[in-house]
Structure 1
């Protein structure tokens, strides 16, 4: 049986100073309280157990690991699927939880879309099923399971830090 590492609604910090470190390195003994460390804030939307975890990343940078209020924050990019090693290796630390979290209400879970399948015959995945695209799909995220270092690098590139 797989151990549950995170739950929907968990708020976690993404260290932006580790994007060059291997995603398999353990950070269980790492001190994240050092001055000058920059983090981005994320939230778990749903843990699909062995299939990855759907998260949202907010356009919020913090320099300490205390709890933060993300209720008015905008997403940095659309939700993505991540491998669980960021949580398992203690690289991404859970710092709080959205009270009474409902993925549909707080994160628009039913509106999440991913492109799946081969590039010459793509389909759109939603929580309610799959369909063939009728419109332009260029702005829809391809369902890729990102590693922690890939997400960190993506954030660093977008924020230009």
Structure 2
């Protein structure tokens, strides 16, 4: 199983401003445990690195495993984390503009919103919203059979 070289991670974090985390890891499905996530976050906090946690595969966890949301570990970690989620992987709905980014830090949220608005990427669509709701309300069997 892949393990993080935290000495190398810290060296690289000292020269970075942004860390992109795939949580759970794609394509191998590696589930990061709470201790690993905390250590990554502590290193990022130490060096002023913002975390973008791509958690789009969070519903696709094999039985017996548990996904931990990076931003859910503490308010301090949430303050430096942008969490990306979407039903598209879970329910095979790519292209329906159903993704969301959860940003607790008001300043980061405003910067992100400004960037998204400048690129005219804001807003979803009714079809995507209805499909997402249907998936989450009635898609348990689909997910069970998928996994």
Q: TM-score, normalised by structure 2?
A: 0.24
With structure 1 as the length reference, what TM-score do the two structures score? 0.23
User: Where is the helix percentage greater, Structure 1 or Structure 2?
Assistant: 2
Higher relative contact order (CA 8 A, sep 6+): 1
